[in-house]
Structure 1
């Protein structure tokens, strides 16, 4: 039996020298490259994560996306242009690192890279991927979004197929986001329309400093706000703990333990 690797190599040789297998970049190296880029822009202090999502991986199998978030609570942090408080970086098999700072940049990137989506499944995956990436632009570190997969549907529009995708806010507030992602008859991405209404829930202000307030109502309100924020309040609590008195440190530890114990 001829090994499958040999068969693959022979097939590539028959197809000619212009054919090559693009490899997905190493996520750790991409993360390091983003950090270097942010340092060059003199923009430290970002929370960075490699984005992991099934629809994104299916739509961009050779790309690595990194979410970049500058915390805006309890004190807003200014970021230099062309960055935004919540933005994305992406690197494909060509090794080029690209900043996606807003809807227009994401729209352009999809226009260049999302083509020939012939099946409904491919169109749905591409649309879900757009929603997942677009959601990050609305992120302030406390929202938790959930895809309403049952509401995903494809209809025929004037220019081709249109896929509706919907997500709702599960934590960090209330709201809903609806996107209609459009494709031409060749299956190429051609645009998107967005509709959203988001209402923020509690955000870090001074709640940690009120955990020992002599007024029990104030203490209760501070606790409830922190519990509502859940694990997303971790960085804020750590920051406040570092400059708190021993008594307040114990109170902060207790509220964090409760957040973890209750799975918030």
Structure 2
């Protein structure tokens, strides 16, 4: 399990995914784009064969909601997510996490999941895990799933609107991110929240990455948190484009909150219309 959830996105393998369609100029932060009444659905698999040290003590993590399994992580193998079993858009809900240790011993815990489930990508974070995980992952136990964009729009500008969140609701905020597909550059900002100041997402370039037969388009840039008093300069953010026409973006950004504590916000956004 890695702290920066998109560092291995180029190795993502999609099992199946359905849905699609364009956005509008005022895409809401808490709902995915509509597609003739369809709901987000699909199974995704993210391989991860090099888990951090300490996870050799575990075999599997499995999440259930209303008695149905919506995600399974097998140590040193990968992550399977069934998005049909997650609420559409942004949601917070109680769930059960079943942890299987390497010796076969199982522990069932009641946890809280906060998620954003779109048509082409999604992300969720889990809090309230009592079992001690390596590397302080109890505070950043995050999962993504994505149907990557394989062909970028060739021209025009579009603004993505979405939500940034983590395990703590006081850090929830809306964000906008504008991409110029002609110059292949993007920038934006995350609104100030109760817990974190406004975050400026500085200009970044879209880069094409290929791995294991999969092509993705990603932006990696610097982020500045207004009021950040800690030394060390800017933080970092990353986005990956999702959907056949780049209808969605998914990513994360480092931050320092108003109490000078560091963290990682997760982000999902939906594209408005492309203007020429």
TM range (shorter): 0.3 to 0.5
Q: Which has the higher contact order (CA 8 A, sep 6+)?
A: 2
Structure number with higher strand proportion: 2
Structure number with higher helix proportion: 1
- Structure showing greater radius of gyration is 1
TM-score (norm 2): 0.36
